Amino acid sequence: MSGGVDSSVAAALLKRAGFDVIGVFMKFWKEGGHGENRCCSSESEKRARKVAKILKISFYVLNFEKEFKKRIVDYFLKENKKGLTPNPCVVCNKEIKFGLLLEKALKMNADYVATGHYARSVEARRQQVYKLLKGKDKDKDQSYFLWMLNQKQLKHILFPVRDYSRVEVEKMAKKFRLPFSGVKKSQEICFIPKTVEDFLKRYLKSKTGRIITKDSKTIGKHEGLWFYTIGQRKGIGLPGGPYYVLDKDLEKNLLIVTKNEKDLYKKELTAKKVNWVSGKKPKLPLKITAKIRYRHQAAAAVITKILNTGSYILKFVRPQRAITPGQSVVFYQGQKLLGGGIIC
């Protein structure tokens, strides 16, 4: 229970359904050991405790600060230092929420871990496999962040708000008399107090280099490749724009930009560290739809495996804008999430 409306309503729905519910609040790393982490602030903990009291359920606080710092924050900084644009929420779901938390829950003799994610998990008994599906609310669907999950985890996961829209969840919060009037929605990276750029500047040293056009003409100076992402337009600091970040050359420390937005569109990407949710690789080549970022519209593509490697090639029917190394590419067939990988 994060102290947010989704996980609180999830707990209320389970209680109403007759489950023996235990509320768990996770403490994550806070910068410098103090300050506020948006998803586990003192205010969030107070709300979660209040909800547990209203629902008359037990409430525990688990301290995962060290593990969160090592597995999520350090990963985020390391990948950025490589010039990549990582997605820490995806890794947090695998390593913390459905990793460490699930391990703790099973040791406490719990049968399931339930969260407020807008996604669906169904057991296909004939195939003896758990399927991961999109949530009912198309605008709020969070299945994209769950592609790293496996069958052992899905066996013990419940998504109580799976069949509801965000509007319906907010109405139910009022019905259950839960304390969420005026609480802001949190959608950014939870451990970053302000902006990603400010956070990176505190932990990664500036390493200036040249900004060049795609025909190798030098037109400016950058402050460090990790402060830029593919497709970025604002904050480049060049006169006569707009310019867009087209690519990054880590070996030569070059930021490559373009004035032509059409240059950002590509029809192909390579994905590594691919996970198939079913645990079995499908027959390839395979027609799918793929999302290259959370708010991206899923696009038609064909996926094939590169021989003698663990990587896969995706070829899109239509070019996609700003395919970004380090981000997750997630594979779907209709409502079903097949798996995903890291864009490289």
CATH number at residue 244: 2.30.30.280
What's the CA gap between 309 and 304, in Å, rounded?
A: 12
Choose the catalytic residue: 39, 40, 92, 344: 92
Record the pTM.
Answer: 0.93
The answer on 238 and 214 residing in a single domain is: yes
Give the CA count within 13 Å in the CB-facing half-sphere of 227.
24
Note whether 251 and 269 are same-domain residues. Answer: no
Domain identity same for 169 and 269: no
Alpha helix ranges (H) inside 180-268: 196-203
Residue 320 belongs to some domain of the structure? yes
Residue 254: inside a domain:
yes
Per the CB < 8 A criterion, the answer to whether 212 and 218 are in contact is yes
Residue 198 maps to a domain:
no
Question: Is 255 in the same domain as 136?
Answer: no
Judgement on whether residues 280 and 169 belong to the same structural domain of the protein? no
pLDDT at residue 48, as a whole number = 95
Domain-located, residue 75: yes
pLDDT for 185 equals 63
Last residue of a domain, one of 244, 259, 274: 259
Q: Which domain holds residue 123?
A: 5-175
Residues 89 and 211 in one domain: no
Contacts of 177 (CB under 8 A, 6+ apart): 54
What's residue 309's pLDDT? 84
What's the count of helices (H) and strands (E) in the chain, helices before strands? 9, 16
159 shares a domain with 228: no
Predicted local distance difference test score (pLDDT) of residue 310: 86
**Taking Cα atoms as reference points, which of 54, 57, 52, 56 lies closest to residue 177?**
54
Domain assignment present for residue 225? The answer is yes
Residue 71 pLDDT:
96
Known active-site residue 40 = no
Residues 26 and 132 in one domain: yes
- Boundary of a domain, candidates 221, 242, 259: 259
Q: Which of 219, 236, 259 is the last residue of a domain?
A: 259
Q: Clarify whether residues 80 and 165 are in a common domain.
A: yes
- Residue recorded with tokens 């400016």: 220
Task: Tell me whether residue 344 is one of the annotated catalytic residues.
Answer: no
Coil, strand or helix at 145? helix
Q: Which of 39, 40, 89, 190 is catalytic?
A: 190
What is the total count of domains within the chain?
3
Rounded Cα gap, residues 110 and 211, in angstroms: 54
Q: Indicate if 290 and 250 belong to the same structural domain.
A: no
Asked whether residue 199 is assigned to any structural domain, the reply reads no
Q: Which residue, chain included where needed, has tokens 């990790």?
A: 226
Mean pLDDT by 10 residues, the chain (344 residues): 94 97 93 60 91 97 96 96 94 96 94 96 84 94 97 96 95 93 67 88 91 96 93 92 94 96 97 96 96 95 90 97 97 97 96
* Strands 328-333 and 286-291, bridge-based pairing: antiparallel
Structure confidence at residue 118 (pLDDT): 96
